[in-house]
């Protein structure tokens, strides 16, 4: 065997080191990254085993991964097998550094420690290692312990390799200068990759906390929509996963990768961020006459004034009769007064019912409101005027719901504000579709939605998914002021009609029903009494998807 054949291929290992550096930079999963660091360090230094520690915020070295080829040990990392060893404290109870532990010493001093034989070394305490060897029959001889430093020269972890093997004789040897240099270089690259990943993870957590804070602030603006911004992303992701897994021919090419899934979840959290600019008294408007307060109380006062005026008129008639000395029919007067009061109560109760906005206002009912409005009464200052103002008439004759046309426009503007707000943000490439996903949930398949009047073909599947999630959450929500909690069967019937009216995507609707997404959502978020029996054959427009 020539010398070239017996000498480890250092140039080959340098090339491998470069490849490892590139791979480390590309790895996005933190657990995989840690495992890659230890595995590649072990391979490049011809080590039989090793341990990777990370430094915690409370000055502990936490065991992350343990590998030993000879004993077939692989704990921590992606294995899911916990490492049943306590973390190593960098300092004792008195604040002194625990420098007798080799991994701790490397972390404290920031220097590599290369030990050729742990059994003859007198600088460090290896009793635990010897106990391990005694139980397993292993022989822990050579140790290479390398600190991992970040951009600020702070120690973020320790890489420790055990038992260097001669690749030709397979005997345990000390880690040589070349191996030490290679591992130190790898540890430096690994520390940078780990630091970058942690920075990205911290930024991601901060970003998610901010968007959830915005969503919570919007929900907290109104006790009647609390939780909407939290529930919509949940339902959106449930339906997205169902669609991703369906074999429906029209949707079989729709698959979400991790980045697309994350972008859709972010869009779900932000889909109503424009409601920040919507006045609370409109969001909270539970009756037609509500503004800062419910103006039905003003109308109640007017009815009391009319009753008082009727009673005063009756008493005046009786007083005039007494003064003129003629007899008056008190029973007839009382009957007329009672009839007037009953009539006023009937009109008052009718206006109360109109004010709730729970029933459709027919033309006949609108005319009845107009008749009451034309009744005259004497208001403050002694001026006679119509019983209802023009604004009150306009509000009470709203055909459906509680919002006037102007108020509906203000509510609808929230989606315009959402789009404007989201389009101003400097997104990284994997989030560039967030504005489109979030800003289309009020569009319709037939182009009659708002604010852009887009058709089905002009919207992405994630945007259409969010449209269904937004509608179904609103239908089944139990915190709306204008309706009672709706049972599943009724909500799905309405949703089916919306499919037939080309309001929502027909294929997504069929998957929503067929995969029982509605039921999984209901079991998580709805009250038990809302979860009634659903006969899917009776849902309007539903067709079993053809695979």
Residue spans of the domains in the chain: they are 8-200, 222-270+431-538, 296-402
Q: Does 209 or 357 have the greater pLDDT score?
A: 209
| Helix or strand (DSSP H, E) at 38 | helix 30-44
Q: pLDDT tens digit string along 278-335?
A: 887 777 777 888 877 888 899 999 999 888 888 888 888 888 888 887 877 788 888 8
Cis preceding-peptide flag for 451 (omega within 30 of 0): yes
- Per-residue confidence (pLDDT) for residue 283, from 0 to 100: 73
- Per-residue confidence (pLDDT) for residue 16, from 0 to 100: 77
For the CA atoms of 357, 358, 363, 364, the dihedral, rounded to the nearest 10 degrees, stands at: -110
Q: What is the largest CA-CA distance in the chain?
A: 146
- Per-residue confidence (pLDDT) for residue 5, from 0 to 100: 40
Q: How far apart are CA 129 and CA 49, in angstroms?
A: 13
Place of tokens 């008195």: 94
Mean pLDDT rounded to a whole number for the chain: 88
Q: How far apart are CA 127 and CA 122, in angstroms?
A: 11
325 CB neighbour count, 10 Å cutoff: 6
Please say if the pLDDT value at position 3 is more than 50: no
- Per-residue confidence (pLDDT) for residue 506, from 0 to 100: 95
Residue count of the chain, please give it.
547
Please say if the pLDDT value at position 8 is more than 70: no
Helices (H), 97-173: 102-109, 127-136
Same fold, 8-200 and 222-270+431-538: no
- Per-residue confidence (pLDDT) for residue 358, from 0 to 100: 77
Please say if the pLDDT value at position 190 is more than 80: yes
Please say if the pLDDT value at position 191 is more than 70: yes
Q: How far apart are CA 360 and CA 382, in angstroms?
A: 36
Please say if the pLDDT value at position 4 is more than 50: no
Q: How far apart are CA 403 and CA 416, in angstroms?
A: 19
Please say if the pLDDT value at position 223 is more than 70: no
- Per-residue confidence (pLDDT) for residue 345, from 0 to 100: 93
- Per-residue confidence (pLDDT) for residue 522, from 0 to 100: 95
Q: Which of 27-36, 107-116, 165-174, 344-353 has the highest mean pLDDT?
A: 107-116
- Per-residue confidence (pLDDT) for residue 447, from 0 to 100: 96
Q: Of 100, 164, 92, whose CA–CA distance to 127 is shortest?
A: 100
3-state secondary structure of 98: coil
Q: How far apart are CA 335 and CA 331, in angstroms?
A: 6
Q: Does 479 or 248 have the greater pLDDT score?
A: 248
Name the token pair of 377. Answer: 């009464």
Q: How far apart are CA 174 and CA 47, in angstroms?
A: 10
At residue 495, what are phi and psi to the nearest 5 degrees?
Answer: -65, -40
Angle between helical axes of 30-44 and 10-26 (0-180°, round to 10): 180
- Per-residue confidence (pLDDT) for residue 482, from 0 to 100: 55
pTM of the full structure: 0.71
Q: Of 128, 134, 154, whose CA–CA distance to 51 is shortest?
A: 128
98-100-104 Cα angle (round to 5): 55
Please say if the pLDDT value at position 2 is more than 60: no
Q: Does 81 or 221 have the greater pLDDT score?
A: 81
| Helix or strand (DSSP H, E) at 290 | none
Q: How far apart are CA 421 and CA 413, in angstroms?
A: 12
Give the percent of the chain with pLDDT over 70.
96
- Per-residue confidence (pLDDT) for residue 10, from 0 to 100: 67
CA separation, residue 220 to residues 33, 215, 227, 410, 435 (Å): 40, 9, 8, 19, 23
- CATH no., domain 222-270+431-538: 1.10.3210.10
DSSP 8-state secondary structure symbol assigned to residue 258? H
Contact by Cβ (8 Å): 26, 141: no
Angle between helical axes of 228-245 and 177-221 (0-180°, round to 10): 120
> What average pLDDT does this structure show over 193-201?
85
**Beta strand 376-378 with 384-386: parallel, antiparallel or unpaired?**
antiparallel
- CATH no., domain 8-200: 3.30.450.40
CA separation, residue 404 to residues 271, 349, 363, 390 (Å): 24, 21, 17, 13
At residue 56, what are phi and psi to the nearest 5 degrees?
Answer: -95, 170
Contact by Cβ (8 Å): 539, 492: yes
Q: pLDDT tens digit string along 88-134?
A: 999 998 899 999 999 999 999 999 999 999 999 999 999 889 999 99
- Per-residue confidence (pLDDT) for residue 543, from 0 to 100: 84
């Amino acid at each position: 065997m020539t010398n070239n054949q017996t000498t480890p291929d250092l140039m080959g290992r340098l090339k491998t080191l470069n490849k490892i550096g590139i791979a480390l930079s590309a790895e996005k999963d933190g657990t995989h990254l840690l495992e890659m660091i230890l595995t590649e360090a072990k391979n490049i230094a011809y080590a039989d085993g090793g341990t990777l520690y990370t430094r915690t915020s409370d000055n502990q070295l936490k065991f992350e991964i343990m590998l030993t080829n000879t004993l077939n040990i692989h704990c921590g990392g992606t294995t899911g097998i916990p490492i049943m060893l306590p973390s190593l404290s960098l300092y004792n109870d008195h604040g002194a550094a625990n420098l007798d532990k080799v991994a701790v010493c490397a972390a404290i001093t920031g220097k590599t420690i290369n030990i050729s034989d742990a059994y003859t070394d007198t600088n460090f305490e290896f009793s635990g290692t010897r106990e391990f060897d005694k139980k397993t029959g292993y022989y822990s001889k050579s140790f290479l312990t390398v600190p991992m430093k970040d951009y600020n020269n702070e120690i973020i972890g320790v890489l420790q390799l055990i038992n260097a093997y001669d690749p030709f004789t397979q005997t345990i040897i000390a880690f040589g200068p070349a191996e030490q240099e290679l591992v130190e270089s790898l540890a430096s690259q690994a520390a940078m990759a780990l630091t970058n990943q942690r920075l990205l993870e911290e930024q991601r957590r901060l970003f998610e906390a901010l968007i959830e804070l915005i969503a919570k602030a919007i929900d907290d603006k109104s006790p009647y929509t609390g939780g909407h911004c939290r529930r919509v992303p949940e339902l959106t992701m449930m339906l997205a996963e169902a669609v991703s897994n369906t074999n429906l021919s029209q949707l079989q090419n729709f698959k979400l990768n991790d980045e697309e899934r994350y972008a859709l979840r972010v869009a779900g959290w932000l889909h109503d961020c424009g409601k920040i600019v919507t006045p609370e008294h409109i969001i909270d408007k539970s009756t037609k006459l509500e503004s800062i307060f419910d103006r039905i109380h003003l109308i109640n006062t007017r009815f009391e004034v009319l009753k008082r005026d009727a009673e005063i008129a009756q008493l005046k008639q009786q007083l005039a009769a007494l003064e003129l000395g003629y007899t008056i029919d008190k029973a007839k007067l009382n009957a007329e007064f009672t009839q007037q009061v009953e009539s006023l109560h009937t009109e008052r109760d009718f206006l109360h019912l109109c004010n709730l906005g729970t029933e459709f206002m027919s033309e006949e009912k609108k005319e009845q409101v107009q008749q009451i409005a034309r009744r005259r009464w004497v208001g403050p200052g002694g001026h006679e005027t119509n019983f209802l103002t023009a604004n009150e008439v306009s509000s009470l004759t709203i055909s459906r719901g509680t919002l006037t046309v102007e108020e509906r426009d203000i509510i609808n503007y929230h989606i315009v504000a959402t789009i404007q707000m989201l389009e101003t943000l400097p997104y990284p490439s994997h989030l560039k579709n967030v504005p489109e996903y979030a800003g289309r949930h009020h569009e319709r398949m037939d182009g009659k939605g708002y604010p852009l009047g887009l058709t089905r073909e002009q919207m992405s599947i994630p945007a259409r998914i969010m449209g269904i999630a937004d509608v179904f959450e609103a239908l089944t929500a139990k915190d709306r002021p204008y309706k009672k909690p709706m049972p599943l069967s009724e909500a799905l019937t309405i949703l089916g009609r919306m499919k037939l009216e080309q309001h929502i995507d027909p294929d997504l609707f069929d998957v929503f029903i067929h995969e029982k997404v509605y039921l999984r959502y209901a079991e998580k978020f709805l009250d038990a009494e809302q979860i009634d029996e659903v006969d899917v054959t009776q849902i309007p427009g539903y067709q079993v998807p053809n695979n």
